[in-house]
A = this chain, B = another copy of it.
Amino acid sequence: MEHPSVEEVSLQQLLEALVDPVRRAVVSQLARARGEMSCGTFDVQVSRSTLTHHFNVLREAGVIRQYYVGTTKMNALRVDEMEERFPGLLSALVAAGRLEADA
């Protein structure tokens, strides 16, 4: 699978990825998991093919890394790289989502 360098990702592309509520839910769940999650374990109300599309958008925007462990596709947030590219942005977004979920 192709992964962009975070340097290639524009703020516009990142925001277009994260303006979608399902994609933000994926990011929030990955942040809560503090690690990796396989594709089938996300709690989202969309079909498998729609979710695959959302993973692709997030991967192309540099937000997640996808890789196989055996035959299972795993997803992980590229937290440190994103922090270096756009300091504070991803963490503020995750925190904002958590604030709203807890409200």
Contact = CB atoms under 8 A, between A and B. Distances in A.
- Give the number of times this chain occurs in the complex, counting copies: 2
Nearest to A93: B89
A17 to B, nearest CB: 10
Contact of A15 (B12, B18, B86): B18
Kindly state the interface size class of chain A when it binds its partner. Answer: 20 to 34
Interface string A67-101: 00000000000000000001111011101110110
Contacts of A97: 11
Contact of A100 (B11, B93, B96, B99): B11
Interface in A6-40: 10-12, 15-16, 18-19, 21, 24
